[in-house]
């Protein structure tokens, strides 16, 4: 939700160009409008407009600012308060065009603050909540001349979520960054340049050394140095530990692929192999905690929730305890009167910043019950990690495509590794059996590689054959309902088609009435203990004229024989491999969504109305 990039440098660089490249790398966070402000000679230079960055750049030349300028703030917006128009684009300025602010988040008390400021004579140009902030700072500067104090006083009046970067025309070498609930990372090239950004890839081409700003911390960025303060005690600087990020910039670039989404699907084997390296100690720690729990919940949003649905099946198989899956936005409402003592929550999030998830786990931890949170995320130092008792970091690398792909498979893998660790601890299965499950799990990258090598033409053919069908179903039973739901979500997101992942058994209680001659239904059919029943469901649709497309394992015969088109996943159909089928089957559906988006001339990396990190309720 909105991307922030700030840079202050002593190097001889084109500051506009770097700011432009910075927000390009953050465009997955929102692309309704964008803007850049640079500062030179006690003046601010602003260019902003509504639309995607490339279009605005063509129009406004976002890389052309005064050569001498060494400080810039840049913003790419996902609109909340105020339509995506030029006037509502960031940066926002004060009455005298001296203070510029870019913001990611939402101020909840902006109406009251706006009225207060209007009564003092401030003039507002936009409908945004953000515009409050430069005016609040302006107001505070009148009573004390110190920018740092004015910013601290201003934000103390704000209720809500914010990652903010602020500059002032009369402070030639200073950016002030401050956060609450919205991510903000400070990158540093010692003695030369300092950056702030909503996400690491924005400055990754220049440095992998960074500080992760915590809630209510303020950073004062100068060229090549940074000081940190607690917003509530800004007289004494505080020490923070620098972190080294081991992502390579190549991972955050398209590298010859047309889109990030396609590249990230092809990166799934590597992402899985990297995630297999999660340390045994952390897996054991997770497993022991789950074994000690009286009650276990699993919660997440979107794709991460579907990964949770798959993971819940796999963990339960070995743990032998029920795990209740609840969407994070409903977590508090569902459990308000029934959260039990000694409960464990497994929280899953690619970004680690989804606000509904953070709110759910914060609520649970602050309750009287002694609840522990085990989280799985792809982002080191993200907000979720600070609210968790134990954390597993998936190693998918940066995921830039708004539609989650490689993080989905790594989230299921991480849960599977925990499940097998549980199996080792409770010893209800023999070592030999457990090893067979491990072997199957370790073979998942190869299965995906083999699939990607040989099936692209088939997927493109299916996309073309489905061209006229604006809606259809992915049907499945058991664990594969998670795969079906995730496949449906991908098609909705990137191809703008209402394709629903649904229970094959439940479909006859309503959705079957949509079926006419030639109506397509895609069955997700790994040979698990639901297979025979799924054949029955398939026949219910086939006998009504449904066109059956099936996703099966390589040696499948029964369902393949009943299907009009078959996609074969090159894996054995034994129970070991079948358990992990959500990992190996999903690439087919992700590719279906990707090519369907291309067929409709849509940009799969930037689905309409979406943003990668959802930091609003």
**Straight-line distance from the first to the last Cα atom of the chain, in angstroms, rounded to the nearest whole number:** 11
Radius of gyration of the chain (CA): 26
- 402 interacts with ligand AGP by CB under 6 A: yes
Contact 213, 177 (CB under 8 A): yes
Instruction: Name which of 354, 400, 401, 359 is nearest 376 in CA terms.
Output: 354
CA distances from 189 to 193, 197, 218, 550 (A): 5, 14, 19, 53
Name the closest residue to ligand AGP (Cβ): 302
Which residue's CB is nearer to ligand AGP, number 343 or number 411? Answer: 411
Which residue's CB is nearer to ligand AGP, number 147 or number 358? Answer: 358
Which residue's CB is nearer to ligand AGP, number 503 or number 613? Answer: 613
Identify the three-state secondary structure at position 160: strand
Contact 388, 371 (CB under 8 A): no
- 396 interacts with ligand AGP by CB under 6 A: no
- 349 interacts with ligand AGP by CB under 6 A: yes
Ranges of beta strands (E only) in 231-328 are: 233-238, 243-244, 295-300, 323-327
- 198 interacts with ligand AGP by CB under 6 A: no
User: CA 594, CA 504: separation in Å to the nearest integer?
Assistant: 24
Ranges of beta strands (E only) in 301-339 are: 323-327
Q: Which of 308, 403, 482, 524 binds ligand AGP (CB under 6 A)?
A: 403
Work out how close the CB of 295 gets to ligand AGP at its nearest, in angstroms, rounded to a whole number.
Answer: 23
Work out how close the CB of 608 gets to ligand AGP at its nearest, in angstroms, rounded to a whole number.
Answer: 12
- 614 interacts with ligand AGP by CB under 6 A: yes
**Which residues between 353 and 372 bind ligand AGP (CB under 6 A)?**
354, 357
- 404 interacts with ligand AGP by CB under 6 A: yes
H or E element that contains 102: strand 99-107
Work out how close the CB of 5 gets to ligand AGP at its nearest, in angstroms, rounded to a whole number.
Answer: 20
Q: How many of the other CB atoms lie within 10 Å of CB of 35?
A: 27
Q: Which of 88, 104, 299, 303 binds ligand AGP (CB under 6 A)?
A: 303
- 264 interacts with ligand AGP by CB under 6 A: no
Work out how close the CB of 595 gets to ligand AGP at its nearest, in angstroms, rounded to a whole number.
Answer: 17
Which residue's CB is nearer to ligand AGP, number 550 or number 590? Answer: 590
Which residue's CB is nearer to ligand AGP, number 303 or number 415? Answer: 303
With CB under 6 A as the contact rule, which of the stretches 73-81, 192-200, 436-444, 609-617 interacts with ligand AGP?
609-617
H or E element that contains 373: strand 372-377
Work out how close the CB of 357 gets to ligand AGP at its nearest, in angstroms, rounded to a whole number.
Answer: 6
Which residue's CB is nearer to ligand AGP, number 138 or number 267? Answer: 267
Site track 205-224 with ligand AGP (rule: CB under 6 A), x = hit = --------------------
**Which residues between 476 and 535 bind ligand AGP (CB under 6 A)?**
493
Which residue's CB is nearer to ligand AGP, number 151 or number 589? Answer: 589
Which residue's CB is nearer to ligand AGP, number 154 or number 347? Answer: 347
Choice among 70, 406, 490, 612 that is catalytic: 612
- 304 interacts with ligand AGP by CB under 6 A: yes
- 351 interacts with ligand AGP by CB under 6 A: yes
Work out how close the CB of 225 gets to ligand AGP at its nearest, in angstroms, rounded to a whole number.
Answer: 32
Work out how close the CB of 264 gets to ligand AGP at its nearest, in angstroms, rounded to a whole number.
Answer: 11
Q: Which residues contact 313 (CB under 8 A, 6 or more apart)?
A: 478, 479, 482
Contact 76, 27 (CB under 8 A): yes
* The length of the chain, given as a count of residues: 617
User: CA 419, CA 68: separation in Å to the nearest integer?
Assistant: 58
Work out how close the CB of 326 gets to ligand AGP at its nearest, in angstroms, rounded to a whole number.
Answer: 14
- Angle ∠(425,282,585) on CA atoms, nearest 5: 80
User: CA 239, CA 244: separation in Å to the nearest integer?
Assistant: 16
With CB under 6 A as the contact rule, which of the stretches 80-88, 127-135, 228-236, 296-304 interacts with ligand AGP?
296-304
With CB under 6 A as the contact rule, which of the stretches 169-177, 363-371, 401-409, 574-582 interacts with ligand AGP?
401-409
Which residue's CB is nearer to ligand AGP, number 28 or number 580? Answer: 28
216 sits in the region (left: phi over 0; alpha: psi -120 to 50; else beta) called left
Q: Which of 301, 374, 422, 434 binds ligand AGP (CB under 6 A)?
A: 301
Work out how close the CB of 565 gets to ligand AGP at its nearest, in angstroms, rounded to a whole number.
Answer: 25
User: CA 5, CA 101: separation in Å to the nearest integer?
Assistant: 11
Identify the three-state secondary structure at position 450: helix
* Residue 158 annotated to the active site: no
Site track 550-589 with ligand AGP (rule: CB under 6 A), x = hit = ----------------------------------------
The dihedral over CA atoms of 160, 165, 166, 172, expressed in degrees to the nearest 10, equals: 170
ω into residue 91 within 30 of 0, thus cis?
A: yes
Q: Which of 69, 275, 343, 350 binds ligand AGP (CB under 6 A)?
A: 350
Instruction: Name which of 593, 483, 464, 476 is nearest 530 in CA terms.
Output: 476
* Residue 372 annotated to the active site: no
Instruction: Say which residue the tokens 């902030």 belong to.
Output: 133
Which residue's CB is nearer to ligand AGP, number 89 or number 349? Answer: 349
Q: What are the DSSP calls for 564-607, one per residue?
A: SEEEEESS--SHHHHHTHHHHHHHHHHHHHHHHHHHTT--TTS-
Choice among 2, 167, 196, 328 that is catalytic: 2
Strands 547-553 and 520-524: parallel
Chain residues in the site for ligand AGP (CB under 6 A): 301-304, 349-351, 354, 357, 402-404, 493, 610, 613-614
Q: Name the residues annotated as catalytic.
A: 2, 612
């Amino acid at each position: 939700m909105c991307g922030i990039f700030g840079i202050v440098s002593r190097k001889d660089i084109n500051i506009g160009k770097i700011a432009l490249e910075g927000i390009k790398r953050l465009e997955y966070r929102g692309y309704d409008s964008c803007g850049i402000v640079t500062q030179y000679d006690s003046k601010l230079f602003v260019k902003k407009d509504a639309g995607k960055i490339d279009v605005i750049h063509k129009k406004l030349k976002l890389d052309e600012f005064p050569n001498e300028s060494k400080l810039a703030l840049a913003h790419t917006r996902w609109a909340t308060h105020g339509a995506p128009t030029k006037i509502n684009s960031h940066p926002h300025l004060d009455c005298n065009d001296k203070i510029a602010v870019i913001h990611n988040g939402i101020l909840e008390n902006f109406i009251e603050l706006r009225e207060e400021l209007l009564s003092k004579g401030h003039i507002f140009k936009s409908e945004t909540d953000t515009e409050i902030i430069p005016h609040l700072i302006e107001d505070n500067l009148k009573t004390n001349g110190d920018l740092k104090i004015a910013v601290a006083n201003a934000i103390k009046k704000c209720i809500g979520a914010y990652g903010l970067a602020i500059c002032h025309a009369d402070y030639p070498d200073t950016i002030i960054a401050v956060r609450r609930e919205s991510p903000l990372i400070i990158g540093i090239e010692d003695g030369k340049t300092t950056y702030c950004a909503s996400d690491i890839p924005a400055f990754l081409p220049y440095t992998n050394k960074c500080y992760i700003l915590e809630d209510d911390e303020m950073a004062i960025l100068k060229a090549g140095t940074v000081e940190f303060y607690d917003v509530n005690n800004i007289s004494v600087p505080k020490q923070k530990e620098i972190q080294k990020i081991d992502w390579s910039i190549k991972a955050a670039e398209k590298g010859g692929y047309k889109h990030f989404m396609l590249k990230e699907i092809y990166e799934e084997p590597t992402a899985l192999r990297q995630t297999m390296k999660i340390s045994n100690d952390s897996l054991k720690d997770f497993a022991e905690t789950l074994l000690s729990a009286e009650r276990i919940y699993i919660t997440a949003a979107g794709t991460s929730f579907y990964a949770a649905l798959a993971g819940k099946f796999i963990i339960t198989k070995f743990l032998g305890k029920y795990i209740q899956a609840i969407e994070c936005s409903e977590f508090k409402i569902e459990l308000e009167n029934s959260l039990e003592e000694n409960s464990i929550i497994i929280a899953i999030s690619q970004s680690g910043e989804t606000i509904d998830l953070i709110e759910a786990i914060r609520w649970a931890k602050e309750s009287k019950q002694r609840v522990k949170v085990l989280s799985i995320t792809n982002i080191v130092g993200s907000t979720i990690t600070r609210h968790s008792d134990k954390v597993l970091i998936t190693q998918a690398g940066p995921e830039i495509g708004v539609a989650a792909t490689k993080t989905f498979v790594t989230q299921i893998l991480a849960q599977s590794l925990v499940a097998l660790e549980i199996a080792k601890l409770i010893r209800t299965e023999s070592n030999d059996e457990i090893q067979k499950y491990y072997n199957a799990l370790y073979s998942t990258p190869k299965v995906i590689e083999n699939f990607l090598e040989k099936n692209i033409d088939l997927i493109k053919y299916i996309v073309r054959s489905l061209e006229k069908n604006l809606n259809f179903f992915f049907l499945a039973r058991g664990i594969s309902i998670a795969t079906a739901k995730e496949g449906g979500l991908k098609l909705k997101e990137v191809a703008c088609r209402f394709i629903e992942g649904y229970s094959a058994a439940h479909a006859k209680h309503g959705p079957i009435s949509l079926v006419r001659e030639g109506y397509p239904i895609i069955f997700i059919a790994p040979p698990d203990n639901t297979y025979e029943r799924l054949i029955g469901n398939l026949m219910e649709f086939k006998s009504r004229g449904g066109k059956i497309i099936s996703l099966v394992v390589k040696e499948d015969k029964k369902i393949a024989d009943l299907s009009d088109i078959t996609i074969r996943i090159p894996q054995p159909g034994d129970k070991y491999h079948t358990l992990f089928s959500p990992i190996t089957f999903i690439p087919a559906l992700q590719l279906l969504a990707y090519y369907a988006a291309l067929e409709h001339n849509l940009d799969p990396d930037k689905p309409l109305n979406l943003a990668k990190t959802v930091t609003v309720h």
